[in-house]
Amino acid sequence: MANYMTLNDGNRIPLVALGTSRIPAEKIEGCVKIALDMGYRHIDTAFHYGNERTIGKALREYMENSNLKREDVYITTKLDSCYMEENAVVPALDESLRRLDLEYVDLFLIHGPYALQTLHHFPEKSPLVSEFMPVDLRETWKGMEATVLNGKARSIGVSNFNSKQLEYICETARIQPAVNQVEVHARFPQKKLHDFCKSRNIQLEAYCPLGSPFFKGSGLVNAIQSSDNLVEHPIIAKFAEKYRRTPGQILLRNIVQRGIFVIPKSETPRRIKENIQIFSFSLSEEDMKKIDELDNGVRRFKLSHYDGHPNYPFHTDF
Ligand code: NAP
């Protein structure tokens, strides 16, 4: 299996990215450099994570001290909910690029469909909750298209969109979204949304691919699943033994084998390393089906602070 896939715009994307949300500030630089050492060529960040500046510094230093060139690395960042008015999108990406010290990003995603009141400045870290603001997602999408047309983003897409919201922007889009980054793991495999995206040639990208086993952020995550640690699940442990891999590698391989790319987060060097070593084995069809049976339809990230927003995405089936 190749370590890349091709998006609907012809651009290639590495199948494994380092997820960087919640890596502590003092560790982020080291983690990015370790990941690059281990062969990662895709880093996932966002204005919202407050780490673009440090990631940019780590990348720059790494490139200065190695043969790695800008075009060898794939960088994803995201449009914050505070810049979703059409005219705010290009300046928001410009600000991310300034922090990242880059001339372009490979992938620029709308972080979520829930617009917040537009900020006309750029604080160091975006506020988690602000006033809800109704914005027509087609307007935001026009702003996203402008970032491709001005050469600052190679590919554009969305995150946390449901099928109806995707359909809505696709109907009038001049550039179709290439990616939808959503929660995907063995407990919540997003089969229907995946089928929908496949039918539109939109690539699904899995956040929380390990089920975010240790995260307990109040209000953000589903309490039922907080006590359900996929990495310790007996079926996953059994397959880890059978394939002589770790439980994390089984969970990630399962998703990648479904044709979905993954962004595991780790701040632990040993795990950063194992999370990219998933291309030298494959799970049998029968074992893939056994993992399918773990689906309990329970979403881990409820994003409940956006519940009540007219564009809150998780009240529909998919
Ligand atoms: P995750 O990657 O499923 O889980 C991360 C957790 O698993 C960390 O606590 C990590 O611990 C642990 N871990 C990592 N590798 C492991 C392994 N091989 N075995 C056992 N445990 C392992 O969940 P996530 O961090 O929530 O999501 C990943 C990334 O997706 C984020 O960093 C972010 O970039 C992105 N994301 C995007 C959105 C969005 O709205 N678009 C939402 C959520 C997340 P250590 O760090 O201690 O190793």
pLDDT, tens only, 267-308: 999 999 999 999 999 999 999 999 999 999 999 899 988 999
Residue 127 pLDDT greater than 90, yes or no: no
pLDDT digits (tens, 9 = 90+) for 75-110: 999 999 999 999 999 999 999 999 999 999 999 999
pLDDT digits (tens, 9 = 90+) for 199-242: 999 999 999 999 998 776 655 555 555 568 999 999 999 999 99
State the pLDDT at residue 48: 94
* Whole-prediction pTM: 0.97
Token pair, residue 111, equals 């972080």
The residue with tokens 């399962």 is: 254
Q: Classify residue 16 by its DSSP letter.
A: B
Residue 174 pLDDT greater than 70, yes or no: yes
State the pLDDT at residue 213: 85
Identify which of 92, 25, 37 has the alpha carbon closest to the alpha carbon of residue 61: 37
Ligand 1 centroid to residue 18 C-alpha, Å: 9
Do 90 and 146 touch, CB atoms closer than 8 A?
Answer: yes
Mean model confidence pLDDT for the chain: 94
Could you tell me which residues come within 8 angstroms of residue 230 by beta carbon, excluding any fewer than 6 positions away? 185, 186, 187, 210, 211, 213, 236, 247, 251, 294
Residue 28 has a CB neighbour count (10 Å cut-off) of 22
Relative to the CA of 45, which ligand 1 atom is closest? 34
Ligand 1 centroid to residue 14 C-alpha, Å: 17
112 band by pLDDT with thresholds 50, 70 and 90 = very high
State the pLDDT at residue 240: 98
Pocket test for ligand 1, best of 208, 245, 303 (most atoms within 8 A of CB): 208
190 Cβ below 6 A of ligand 1: no
80 Cβ below 6 A of ligand 1: no
113 Cβ below 6 A of ligand 1: no
Do 269 and 223 touch, CB atoms closer than 8 A?
Answer: no
* Rounded to 5°, angle at Cα 301 from 97 and 201: 65
Pocket test for ligand 1, best of 265, 278, 306, 311 (most atoms within 8 A of CB): 265
Ligand 1 centroid to residue 154 C-alpha, Å: 25
State the pLDDT at residue 105: 98
What percent of the chain clears pLDDT 70, i.e. is strictly above it? 94
State the pLDDT at residue 195: 98
Token pair, residue 272, equals 């950063």
Residue 238 has a CB neighbour count (10 Å cut-off) of 14
Give the span between the Cα atoms of 196 and 309, in whole angstroms: 24
Using CA atoms, how far residue 217 sits from 9, 114, 302, in Å, is 36, 20, 11
Token pair, residue 38, equals 């281990």
Which one is predicted more confidently, 148 or 1? 148
Ligand 1 centroid to residue 212 C-alpha, Å: 5
User: Which residue has the CA at smallest separation from atom 44 of ligand 1?
Assistant: 207
Residue 129 pLDDT greater than 90, yes or no: no
pLDDT digits (tens, 9 = 90+) for 16-42: 999 999 999 999 999 999 999 999 999
Average pLDDT over residues 118-128: 80
Identify which of 29, 31, 7, 5 has the alpha carbon closest to the alpha carbon of residue 18: 31
Ligand 1 centroid to residue 205 C-alpha, Å: 13
Relative to the CA of 303, which ligand 1 atom is closest? 40
Average pLDDT over residues 103-120: 96
Residue 156 pLDDT greater than 80, yes or no: yes
